[in-house]
């Protein structure tokens, strides 16, 4: 009684029917999936998901509610959220409200009752594509026309939608030893928190900042953050990074890795369905070890484009043998194509933050 139907239509005409558990409305975006078993709150608030419709493959979502400490930003970024089953009962650490109330407060369209594994297998076979979620109409023809008229993810600048509008400073939690400048392309809070835990005063700059803006504070190191979408259109960020290379130690994360690679002469390409989950094995050639990583990206760097002789391919994704990290042989810079801060996911790769600290200390 009182349940409202909702519809999902992909750009090739495939459709699904479910039940609305968020706000009413329609939303178009790139249809993607995440294989994490937990961490839905962190995923919802990760700016890297801007412009996307998020499908959770784990079948039961919402069972531990939401809490005030797990947000990775101040808003929900996916334009819609798809679940197999929404849990009406929730109980967990520090929970304060239900996921449904949280979605409604954040004006997010959400659906349950979709066969998410069928949808995921279809996206793995066909590749990520545009989709639309609607509680407004049952006309699949109308929805198909709307989604086919919606712009592709390729070539779209989403960073300007998520970056901070003004610079801000976060004091170190322990006594300050270093100053780090963060170029905010959609940074997650836990990245900032780890830096603060490691005695760093963190200065966060908008993605539109110039190299001169950043160098004015004379930072000990520079971090280029994660973020959403295609790195190729981000000429203004790439220019800034080019002008910083060789002047200060640099650490790039996810989109930051792609931007740094382009600034070094590399090229990127769009993956068939992306890497989004908390169980991706990464081989670190320097340590000769395999780590489990948290990932969220739809683009990747072509290793052949970095075959310049002064760049080492340090990390590889063992699932599909894609490039997952680089380091420069002569300059103090390195980057990884995943999230060493986890949230959600394993903490195997937090050692990379210590390497950044060691690099700043010379």
Sorted by sequence, the CB contacts under 8 Å of residue 57 that are 6+ apart come out as: 33, 34, 35, 116, 117, 120
**Residue 11 tokens, joined:** 């750009």
Q: What is the pLDDT of residues 226-279, one digit of tens each?
A: 999 999 999 999 999 999 999 999 999 999 999 999 999 999 999 999 999 999
- Read off the pLDDT of each residue in 154-168 and give the average, rounded to a whole number: 97
Task: Pick the more confident residue, 214 or 93.
Answer: 214
- Topology given in CATH for the domain delimited by 5-148: Glucose Oxidase; domain 1 (3.50.30)
Q: What is the pLDDT of residues 3-44, one digit of tens each?
A: 899 999 999 999 999 999 999 999 999 999 999 999 999 999
Query: Is the confidence at residue 213, as pLDDT, over 50?
Result: yes
Whole-model pTM?
A: 0.96
User: CA–CA separation, 123 vs 273, rounded Å?
Assistant: 7
Sorted by sequence, the CB contacts under 8 Å of residue 348 that are 6+ apart come out as: 291, 292, 293
Q: What is the pLDDT of residues 184-207, one digit of tens each?
A: 999 999 999 999 999 999 999 999
- Which stretch of DSSP H or E encloses residue 258? helix 255-263
Question: What's the pLDDT at 326?
Answer: 98
The set of catalytic residues is 254, 339, 341
Q: What is the pLDDT of residues 303-322, one digit of tens each?
A: 999 987 899 999 999 999 99
Question: What's the pLDDT at 193?
Answer: 96
What class has domain 159-360?
Answer: alpha beta
Question: What's the pLDDT at 1?
Answer: 46
- Read off the pLDDT of each residue in 160-168 and give the average, rounded to a whole number: 98
**Residue 184 tokens, joined:** 């905010």
Indicate the average pLDDT of the chain: 96
Question: What's the pLDDT at 115?
Answer: 97
Question: What's the pLDDT at 312?
Answer: 96
- Which stretch of DSSP H or E encloses residue 291? strand 289-301
- Read off the pLDDT of each residue in 69-96 and give the average, rounded to a whole number: 94
For residue 292, give Cα distances in angstroms to 27, 82, 280, 355: 33, 26, 5, 18
Query: Is the confidence at residue 300, as pLDDT, over 90?
Result: yes
Query: Is the confidence at residue 209, as pLDDT, over 50?
Result: yes
Query: Is the confidence at residue 96, as pLDDT, over 90?
Result: no
Question: What's the pLDDT at 184?
Answer: 98
- Domain chopping of the chain, boundaries: 5-148, 159-360
Phi, psi torsion values for 289, nearest 5 degrees: -135, 155
Q: What is the pLDDT of residues 113-155, one digit of tens each?
A: 999 999 999 999 999 999 999 999 989 999 999 999 999 999 9
């Amino acid at each position: 009684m009182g349940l409202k139907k909702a519809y999902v239509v992909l750009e090739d005409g495939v459709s699904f029917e479910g039940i609305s558990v968020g706000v009413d409305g329609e939303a178009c975006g790139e249809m993607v999936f995440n294989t994490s078993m937990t961490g839905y709150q962190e995923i919802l608030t990760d700016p890297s998901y801007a412009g996307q419709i998020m499908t959770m493959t784990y079948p039961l979502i919402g069972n531990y509610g939401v809490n005030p400490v797990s947000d990775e930003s101040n808003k929900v970024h996916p334009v819609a959220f798809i679940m197999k089953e929404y849990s009406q009962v929730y109980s967990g650490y520090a929970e304060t409200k239900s996921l449904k109330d949280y979605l409604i407060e954040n004006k997010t369209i959400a659906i349950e009752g979709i066969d998410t594994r069928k949808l995921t297998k279809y996206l793995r076979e066909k590749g990520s594509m545009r989709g639309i979620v609607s509680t407004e109409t049952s006309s699949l023809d109308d929805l198909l026309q709307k989604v086919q008229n919606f712009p592709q993810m390729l070539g779209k600048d989403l960073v300007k939608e998520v970056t901070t509008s003004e610079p801000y400073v976060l004091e170190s939690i322990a006594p300050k030893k270093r100053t780090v400048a963060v170029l905010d392309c959609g940074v997650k809070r836990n990245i900032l928190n780890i830096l603060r835990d490691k005695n760093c005063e963190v200065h966060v700059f908008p993605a539109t900042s110039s190299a001169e803006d950043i160098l004015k504070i004379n930072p000990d190191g520079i971090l280029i953050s994660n973020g959403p979408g295609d790195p190729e259109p981000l000429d203004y960020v790439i220019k800034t990074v080019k002008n910083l290379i060789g002047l200060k130690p640099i650490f790039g994360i996810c989109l930051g890795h792609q931007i740094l690679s382009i600034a070094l002469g590399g090229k990127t390409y769009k993956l068939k369905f992306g890497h989004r989950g908390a169980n991706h094995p990464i081989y670190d050639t320097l340590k000769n070890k395999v780590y489990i990583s948290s990932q969220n990206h739809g683009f990747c760097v072509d290793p052949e484009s970095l075959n310049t002789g002064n760049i080492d391919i340090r990390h590889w994704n063992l699932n599909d043998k894609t490039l997952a990290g680089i380091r420069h042989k002569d300059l103090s810079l390195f980057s990884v194509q995943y999230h060493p801060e986890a949230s959600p996911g394993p903490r195997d790769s937090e050692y990379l933050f210590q390497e950044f600290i060691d690099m700043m200390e010379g």
